[in-house]
Amino acid sequence: MLHPDPFTVRALLGDEAAVARRAISGEIGVALPPLADHHVHGHLVDLAKVFLGGIAAVIDLGGDPAALFRAERAVPHIDYAGAFLTAPGGYPAGRAWAPPAIVREIGRSSGEGATGSAPTAVDEQADFGASVIKVALNADAGPVVDAHTLAAVVARAHERGLPVVAHAQGAGMTRLAVEAGVDALAHTPFTEAVDDALLRGALDRGQVWISTLAIHDGPALPRAVDNLRRFAAAGGRVLYGTDLGNGPQPLGVNAAEVRLLLAADLDGAAVIAALADPWPRAAVLHGVSTFVPGAPPASLAEVPDWLAGARVVPTEELVPDDQ
Ligand SMILES: [Zn+2]
C-alpha cells in the first residue's frame, strides 16, 4: 500500500480524519473520532458486536429502563431513553418487538393546566439514568398524545436537563413535534414532505434529525432522502442513526445508511460529523477512537464500504502518521 496522503484524507473526510498507525501492529489507516449510532434498540441485537464494527457509542431509543440501568455499559458506551412514552393504546404498545417494560402509556390531560401522568413518566426514565426522553407520535398506528400532554413531557424533561426525541409518523406529526419544542426526531420525516415553513421552524428551534434512511423502501425512501437533503442544506444538524434492531442490519457502521447520507448530498466531512456527533452528551467520549485500517477511500463513492471496515481502538494505541 502506498503511504496515504494526509491532505487527500482531510480533503475528502474533513479535519477530524487523520492518517495514523497502530503502535503495536504497525497497521496504517485513518483515525476518526469515536463514531456513534444514535438510534438502536439493544434488546433486539447484540450491542457488544457493534464495537467490533467501529461503533463506540450507541443511543438506545426504546428499551426497558430497569434493564438498561443494570446493563454493563463500558463497551460500547450506551446512552438511553428508557421506555417509549405514548398515549394509552398508542404505538408501539402490543407490538411483538415491544414487550410491556419498554412502553410507558401516559394519560391524557383532563383539562387546562392538567398534565396527566406525563411528568411522572419522565421522572421514571430519568431516575433510571436516561439521558434522553423518547415519545412515540405515530398517528398511523393508534392514538397519539395531544399537544398539551406533549408540552408537559417536554417541560418536565427540560427541567431534568434531558432532551426529548420523538418518533414522528403520520399526517401532522412532524408539526406537532416541532411546535411542542421536541429536540430531536428519531427518524428523518418519511411519511410526508416537510414544507419550507415547517423546515424553518425545526431549524429555528435547533431540532436535530437522526437519519435512519436505510430502513425504508417504496416512496418513503425518496421522501426521507429529500427531507434530509433540504434540512442539511439549510444548516440542520444531522445525526447518523440506523434504528438497529429494525430488520436485519450489519453490526457496526452500516454502509447502506452512509450511502443514503451521500444521496442526501452530505459530503465526506458532513458524514463523519453525523457519525461522530456526541449528542445527547455535550462532549466526545475520551479514550477510544474509531480506526479504519488500510488504504483510505479515493473518492466519496468509496466511503460507505470503506467505513464498514471500521473498528474501535484505544486512542493511546494510535500514533499520528501525517508525513
Ligand atoms: Zn427505533
pLDDT on residue 323: 60
The answer to the question of residue 102 being in a domain is: yes
Q: Do 152 and 16 sit in the same domain of this protein?
A: no
CA of 23 to the centre of ligand 1 (A): 38
Q: What per-residue confidence (pLDDT) applies to 112? A: 52
For residue 307, what are the CA distances in angstroms to 8, 35, 59, 260, 278?
16, 10, 20, 13, 18
CA distance 103 to 167: 13
pLDDT value at position 198?
A: 98
For the cut 90, the answer to whether the pLDDT of residue 132 exceeds it is yes
Q: Are strands 133-138 and 184-185 parallel, antiparallel or unpaired?
A: unpaired
For 166-201, write each residue's pLDDT tens digit: 999 999 999 999 999 999 999 999 999 999 999 999
Where does the pLDDT of residue 73 fall: very low under 50, low under 70, confident under 90, or very high at 90 and above?
low
- Type of residue numbered 222: P
On the question of pLDDT at 1 being above 60, the answer is: no
Range of the domain at 259: 33-290
Instruction: Note whether 69 and 130 are same-domain residues.
Output: yes
CA 144 to centroid of ligand 1, rounded, Å: 17
Question: Is 295 a member of any domain?
Answer: no
Distance 187 CA to ligand 1 centre (A): 8
255-283 confidence digits (pLDDT tens)? 999 999 999 999 999 999 999 999 999 98
**C-alpha grid cell, residue 196:** 419550507
Q: What is the mean pLDDT of the chain?
A: 93
Rounded distance from Cα 79 to ligand 1 centre (Å) = 14
In this predicted structure, the answer to whether residue 111 has a pLDDT above a threshold of 80 is no
User: 61 C-alpha vs ligand 1 centroid, how far in Å?
Assistant: 6
Let me know: does 305 contact 53? Beta carbons within 8 Å: no
Least confident window among 45-54, 110-119, 214-223, 269-278 = 110-119
In the reported structure, the alpha carbon of residue 111 is separated from the centroid of ligand 1 by a whole-number distance in angstroms of 31
Any alpha helices (H) in the chain, and if so which ranges?
6-13, 48-52, 65-70, 118-127, 147-159, 173-179, 196-204, 220-233, 255-263, 268-276, 303-307
How far does residue 60's CA lie from ligand 1's centre (Å)?
Answer: 8
Measure 161 CA to ligand 1 centroid, in angstroms: 22
Q: Is the pLDDT of residue 286 over 60?
A: yes
* Alpha-carbon torsion angle 61, 66, 71, 75, nearest 10: 20
Q: How far is the CA of 14 from the centre of ligand 1 (A)?
A: 29
Does residue 109 have a pLDDT over 80?
Answer: no
Residue 317 included in any domain: no
Q: How many Å lie between the centroid of ligand 1 and the Cα of residue 214?
A: 13
pLDDT, residue 321, reads 85
Q: Could you tell me the distance, in angstroms and rounded to a whole number, from the CA of residue 77 to the centre of ligand 1?
A: 18
133 Cα to the center of ligand 1, angstroms:
13
Determine, yes or no, domain membership for 305: no
38 CA from centroid of ligand 1 (Å)? 10
What does the pLDDT read at residue 56? 95
d(CA 221, ligand 1 centre) in Å:
16
199 lies in the same domain as 99: yes
Q: Is the pLDDT score of 108 beyond 70? A: no
22 and 51 fall within a common domain: no
303 inside domain: no
pLDDT number for residue 51: 86
* 311 within a domain of the structure (yes/no): no
Q: Residue 184 falls within a domain, yes or no?
A: yes
Distance (Å, whole) CA 51 – CA 44 = 16
**Confidence at 239, pLDDT banded by 50, 70, 90:** very high
